A and B are shown apart, each in its own frame.
Chain A
């Protein structure tokens, strides 16, 4: 069975600094996808970034990048130049090709950006 582990329940970062949110996964599949979602205090789930297991380069979307280390089964989210609006819960999720659409989520990391 697939599993996502986020070991940091909470993180603090100063405004304009970079921060890394950890995510490790467990799967026996060769083909899978990794997602990061942001959940601000308003509650909605916002898709941030996606990495496919066969992608040779790390995914980037603006200030978000995904540090994908396949051998270590880790898919850490890096947020550069943190902003106050980045304060939110962040969830890592995995999709296995065998299960097509279904996502398995981690328990999340709460990020607080301070002045």
Chain B
């Protein structure tokens, strides 16, 4: 079955370290998204991509970067982790612009 996976599921890191969260999908969807979820804020969009070599900033993109070298993967990199980036991160895919988004299981990141 087609699916979307995220790894790792849990990560603890230290302030200042570079961290990469993986997102892999087998649906062959062009559109992929990264969100962070924090209490009192719901889900907020970090970055998104409409296809290979396409990346765009969302509403909370500072301190994060993404790259899209193939259809299946959209890794999210925290260049220098900060305690404010402690959160649950969700990757999502979408077949086309008007469709619902399908979410991965999430990655819980703790920055000490």
Contact = CB atoms under 8 A, between A and B. Distances in A.
A35 B43 CA distance: 13
A102 B45 contact: yes
B87 interface: no
A45 interface: yes
The binding surface of chain A is classed by DSSP as strand
Contacts of A102: 33, 45, 48, 58
Interface stretch (B18-26, B64-72, B73-81, B97-105): B97-105
Interface stretch (A10-18, A64-72, A73-81, A104-112): A104-112
B48 A107 contact: no
Interface residues of A, number: 22
B42 A103 contact: no
Contacts of B42: 4, 91, 105-108
Contacts of A106: 42
A106 B92 CA distance: 17
B interface, how many residues as a size bin? Answer: 20 to 34
Nearest to A92: B42
A4 B42 CA distance: 10
Contacts of B100: 35, 47, 50
B75 to A, nearest CB: 19
A28 interface: no
A101 B101 CA distance: 9
A62 interface: no
Given A102-B48, A103-B45, A47 B101 contact: yes
A100 interface: yes
30 contacts: A4-B42, A33-B98, A35-B100, A43-B88, A43-B106, A44-B103, A44-B106, A45-B43, A45-B90, A45-B92, A46-B103, A47-B100, A47-B102, A91-B42, A93-B43, A95-B98, A100-B50, A101-B48, A101-B97, A102-B48, A103-B33, A103-B45, A103-B101, A104-B45, A105-B42, A105-B43, A106-B42, A107-B40, A107-B42, A108-B42
